[in-house]
Amino acid sequence: MDRKYNSMREPAPSEHIPEHGIPAETAYQIVKDETFPQTQPRLNLATFVTTYMDDYGTRIMNEAVNINYIDETEYPRVAVMCGRCINMVANMWNTPEKGEWKTGAVGIGSSEACMLGGVAAWLRWRARRQAQGKPYDKPNLVMSTAYQVVWEKFCQLWQIEMRTVPVTREHPTLDVDSAIRMCDENTICIVPVAGVTWTGMNDDVQGLNDALEKYNAETGYDIPIHVDAASGGFILPFLDPDKKWDFRLKWVLSISTSGHKYGLVYPGLGWVVWRDKSCLPDEMSFSVNYLGANITQVGLNFSRPAAQILAQYYNFLHLGMEGYKEVHSNSMAVARYCHEAIGKMSCFENYSKKLDNPLFIWTLKPEYAEKTNWTLYDLQDKLMQSGWMVPAYTMPKDMEDMVVMRVVVRQGMSRDMADMLIGDIRNAVAELEKLEYPTPSCVASGRNGKIKGKVYTH
């Protein structure tokens, strides 16, 4: 039989590129159907990354789908637009730099932006050590245990020792005194986070800056700050503009953010900005001459899509400061609403009373968890059945026995959706409370659970 007709009844290829192709329509359908049963992106409350853009933003991106950003000679206006975006982000973070083009770089996400900020800090430290005739083989970096995995990658790939300050119930964010105590002559930088992935809270950058001012003066070191503002970089300037966390602080030499988180662009965009040119080591700029002109580039990637850059610029034009403020105020209002509703449910306890960013975590109340047959992992499964992805996970080192659940509110999550979510959580809890036997995850957690009032032993 013609493959045109039988291709739908054969298993999908998974090892080798098939010898013969199939009609585009069939191939399209197979690919579509593979992805069909997944979570709807907008019900994915696990991600920080944009799942809604308006029609024009989507159009801009689709129309630029065949443009490679690196071809600056062919598409010089894209490079100009990228420079304008860097300027705007730098000014949004109160850069002191005055020149026409601020010092920064575009990345695929915060991960690339963090790597670039980290590498610059390491190279600056190394140059200083070399100039002093001192050894430069044992660099270290200080941050809290609630780091995002990119910092583990950075330290592993560049062989930098990672020194972590435990986050605990007493110190739910980076403890400044402990961070300073971990520093020495080999510390390349301290990395506070604005919008900690695990909790949604902000580390105290100003407190850290003030402590470093004193410490650096006493020791003669120059330990700087890189702020990982993956989420907070696009929240603080709009919702808390008077808070000093950015280049208004002396020791903040670089900041990174995700354009595809609260910058409101679909995935594939990060930004890093340095205080000024002197903070970006020359070794990080590479020139290539085979694209039709001499191009200088800072980044780990070479080719990358241009669409996200156009979309970022589109968002800046369309929304303006006012529009961003409104979008994020809406997300904050919806997040506060969910936070309050969940805090009122008798089985739950919010981790933090106030919200720094439009996301939060909560736990089962310890006294409730003691005598129930289910865990937050079971609630995650139940919510999946109504289409929601609300992740449950354990907290980082030193708090890993605490299981939490997180909701990230983004543009596109309406109050109506919040009401549906809260309703689904209530229904799921009511169902779980009817369980007569502990769930496997409850047993695995080491709790015995309860059978109709009796302690279950196994």
Per CB under 6 A, residues contacting ligand PLP are 48, 109-111, 114, 148, 150, 193, 197, 228, 230-231, 258, 270
Distance in Å, CB of 248 to ligand PLP, minimum: 21
Q: Which is nearer to ligand PLP, 118 or 270 (CB)?
A: 270
Q: How far is the CB of 326 from ligand PLP (least distance, A)?
A: 23
C-alpha 429 chain-centroid distance: 29
Rank residues 104 and 270 by Cβ distance to ligand PLP and give the closer one: 270
CB of 281 to ligand PLP, least distance (A): 22
DSSP type of residue 280 = S
Report the residue number, 57 or 195, with the smaller CB distance to ligand PLP: 195
Tokens at residue 307, please? 């669409």
Rounded Cα gap, residues 258 and 233, in angstroms:
8
Q: Which is nearer to ligand PLP, 44 or 373 (CB)?
A: 44
Contact 397, 388 (CB under 8 A): no
Q: How far is the CB of 204 from ligand PLP (least distance, A)?
A: 15
- Smallest separation, CB 148 to ligand PLP (Å): 3
Compute the least distance from the CB of residue 27 to ligand PLP, in Å: 30
Secondary structure letter of residue 396 according to DSSP = S
- CB nearer to ligand PLP: pick between 139 and 195: 195
- Assign 231 to helix, strand or coil: coil
260 close to 268: Cβ distance less than 8 angstroms: yes
Residue at shortest CB range from ligand PLP = 109
The Cα 441–Cα 295 span in angstroms is 55
Phi and psi dihedrals of 109, rounded to 5?
-170, -170
CB 232 to ligand PLP: min, Å: 8
CA–CA gap between residue 263 and residue 232 (Å, rounded): 10
Of 125, 121, 87, 123, nearest in space to 104 by CA: 87
Q: Which is nearer to ligand PLP, 109 or 391 (CB)?
A: 109
DSSP state for residue 145 in the 8-state scheme: T
Buried/exposed code over 307-329 (b: 16+ C-beta within 10 A; e: otherwise): bbbbbbbbbbeebeeeebeebbe
When the beta carbons of 92 and 115 are compared against ligand PLP, the nearer one is 115
Contact in structure between 79 and 72 (CB atoms under 8 Å) = yes
